[in-house]
Amino acid sequence: MFISIYSPAPVVWHLQMAQTERRDAPGLPDFFQLKRLARDQLIFLLEELPGKKDLFIDADLMSPLDRIANVTILKQHEVDKLYKVELKPIVSGSDQLCFLIRPRIKTVKWISDLVNSDKTAGRFRRYKIIFTPQKFYAYVTTDEWNFYILPLDDDILSLELPEFFRDTFLEGDQRWMTTGGGALHLLQSVYGSFSKVYGIGRCAKMVYESWRELTEEGEQRTRQPEFAKVFLIDRDVDYVTPLCSQVVYEGLVDDIFRIKCGSVEFGPDVTSSDKSIKVMLTSQDQVFSEIRNEHFSNVFGFLSQKAKNLQTAYDKRRGMDIQQMKAFVADELKGLKQEHRLLSLHIGASESIMKKKTKQDFQELLKTEHSLLEGFETRESIAYIEEHINRQVSMIDSLRLLCLLSITENGLLSKDYRSLKAQYLQSYGMDHLLTFANLRQLGLLEEQQTGETLTVMESKVGKLVNDKTVGKLTDAFSSLAKKSNFRALSKRLALVPKYGEEYDLRVPRDMAYIFSGAYVPLSCKLIEQVLERDGWTGLEEVTRMLNGQEFAVTGL
């Protein structure tokens, strides 16, 4: 059994459950404690500003906050009105303002402007800023609400930090490394220590270091661990997986409706009524929990069967006497109705997914993805991508395919890069010059570098700095010369099942089923291999192709 901690894009952490090496075995720890802890700390902070106050909340904090507290709790702690932070002048009559925000410069600037304008107007108010999950730039006098981890489901924990990826991998800013360390430290404090930590990637290493420091400062603990193992992987170790279209139910729901903070909003076409409904997608939803990981092709059959069973269960009422009916209403009816509602929603969602996917030639898109993964008929894939761009179909899909092409082929040939980029800009707007620059910086979409270009670069940069410091530039160079090595990795780890083999999606034989049998997710394969070997021994070739930075540590 795995627990994955993720933040909507960044480092993915997998925690394997405690006690045994058996993967199917033990129960999960109760993550409700994390929510309670977060809620209690929030209340503590609110009480530090006694009396009636208005609370301003960052927009992207509201959904996570909803999972922790509710309006009654806030009101109990004398929150009068709630506002969304909109970076505009405010209308509040309160004498006390409390701000619950992410550490972002523009938000802090807005608050200071606000305070200043109050001052100018001769208005006296008390203010309190609470940063979450932590304050920034070593501020001293502000508060932190250490809301590191949000349990999204029985077995999924999330940092819910959308900017993590951009800040870390694009801007090279390490401000979230300590957040990662803090989150792990929190888990350890509540659930006991871990027997083993594995990781790969620069950020994984930094997060580990930060966590280790926190642990060393803390007290020695003797509690029996509830988790056995931690696995830290940098997102950039495996870009291929998130670039592929998922074809399991949950993946498609996310693709079409966007799952945010563990919940999804189904529109009128799904609900068969005139209103939208927001639904939590967790293992508490019995229908969803049974189909979430199924390949989409199995979902229809399952739902049809469920519908029949439901009808049968309802039909039982016929011919019941009063007593039986009473018992039926008391014991079964509520459950059946709940199931009925869920079933109707998921059937509606499946239908809507099917309609949209048929319309956008999904089958051909999948075919192209699979060809790229196999490295087979690349020219035709390029022609497909080009036409996709020419027809101005989904901007994101076009970009996704371009990135997949670049990573599987170790960069695009110069003429392809220039021509595809030019056509992309023509179809979707010149502003995307900036998108291309960013993707290039990330190594997601690159032009193949000829040996010559690299030498020129090297001598150019070399001139700028003296010899002593050249060593420190190795990082910069390695990122220039960094190759994804996907083809070799795929061969070495058998990520793409052999052509022509039968693949029965109803009885999946490996992780490839989530991509219709076309590809085993690299990151998952790595975890499997490392756990099997209890370390990285024997995977030296693989780690070298992944730019190293791997580690395995016992007992923290």
Partner 1 sequence: MSRAKPEDDEYWNSSKYRAFTFEDDDDEFSRLKESKRAVNSMLVDDDEDDVEDVERVSWSGEPVESISWSVKETASSIRSGSEQGFPRIDTTPSLSKQGSGYSLSSLFKAFSESSVRAYAPELRRPRSDGKDFVSDLSLDETIRRMQKGRGFSLEKFRSLQDKLLLLDKAVSAHDGNVITAVLIYLKRSLSKEILFRELMSREVALRHYIHFLKETGEQKLLMDLLKALGRTEDMALMQYKEHLNIKDEGRRKDFLKSCLSDVRLCVLSLPFSQDDAAHVQDHYTLLERQIIIEEYDKKAVTDVFKKFPRKASILNMPIITTLYYSCFYHYGELEGTFSSPSNIRKTFRISEKQYILTALGARAKLRSWSDVDSLFNTKNWLGYTKKRSPIAFHRVVDILQKNSAPVQVLQDYVNLIDDPELKLSVALKYKCHDVIINTYRDLKDRQLLVSYRDKLEQDSPEYRKIQELLSNGQVRWKN
Footprint on residues 386-415 left by partner 1 (CB under 8 A): 387, 390-392
- Residue written as token pair 């800040």: 167
Is residue 134 involved in binding partner 1 (CB under 8 A)? yes
Is residue 421 involved in binding partner 1 (CB under 8 A)? yes
Is residue 467 involved in binding partner 1 (CB under 8 A)? no
Is residue 28 involved in binding partner 1 (CB under 8 A)? no
For the CA atoms of 274, 282, 516, 496, what is the dihedral angle to 10 degrees?
Answer: 140
- Of the candidate spans 20-28, 173-181, 397-405, 536-544, the one that interacts with partner 1 by CB under 8 A turns out to be 173-181
Is residue 112 involved in binding partner 1 (CB under 8 A)? no
C-alpha 25/C-alpha 4 separation (Å) is: 16
Helix (H, G, I), strand (E, B) or coil at 439: helix
Footprint on residues 284-303 left by partner 1 (CB under 8 A): 284, 295-297, 300-301, 303
C-alpha 437/C-alpha 424 separation (Å) is: 13
- Of the candidate spans 30-38, 235-243, 398-406, 529-537, the one that interacts with partner 1 by CB under 8 A turns out to be 30-38
With contact defined as beta carbons under 8 Å apart, do 60 and 80 qualify?
no
DSSP state of 26: P
Residue 430 C-beta: closest distance to partner 1, Å? 4
Altogether, the residues listed in the chain come to a count of 556
Q: Which is nearer to partner 1, 321 or 502 (CB)?
A: 502
Q: What are the C-alpha distances in Å from 407 to residues 97, 314, 416, 527?
A: 49, 53, 14, 21
Is residue 93 involved in binding partner 1 (CB under 8 A)? yes
Q: Which is nearer to partner 1, 251 or 348 (CB)?
A: 348
Helix (H, G, I), strand (E, B) or coil at 248: strand
Is residue 124 involved in binding partner 1 (CB under 8 A)? no
Q: Which is nearer to partner 1, 115 or 343 (CB)?
A: 343
- For residue 25, the Cα-to-chain-centroid distance in whole angstroms is 26
- Of the candidate spans 41-49, 111-119, 488-496, 544-552, the one that interacts with partner 1 by CB under 8 A turns out to be 41-49
Q: Which of 518, 527, 546, 556 binds partner 1 (CB under 8 A)?
A: 518
Footprint on residues 328-387 left by partner 1 (CB under 8 A): 329, 333, 337-338, 340-345, 347-348, 350-351, 354-355, 357-358, 362-364, 366-367, 370, 377, 380, 383-384, 387
Q: Which is nearer to partner 1, 157 or 542 (CB)?
A: 157
Half-sphere exposure of 294 (CA within 13 A, CB side): 15
- Of the candidate spans 139-147, 228-236, 403-411, 536-544, the one that interacts with partner 1 by CB under 8 A turns out to be 139-147
User: Tokens in use for 336?
Assistant: 């059946």
- Of the candidate spans 7-15, 151-159, 522-530, 542-550, the one that interacts with partner 1 by CB under 8 A turns out to be 151-159
Is residue 459 involved in binding partner 1 (CB under 8 A)? no
Helix (H, G, I), strand (E, B) or coil at 447: strand
With contact defined as beta carbons under 8 Å apart, do 285 and 250 qualify?
no
φ and ψ at residue 299, rounded to 5 degrees: -70, -40
Task: For CA atoms 95, 100, 104, 107, give the dihedral sign.
Answer: negative
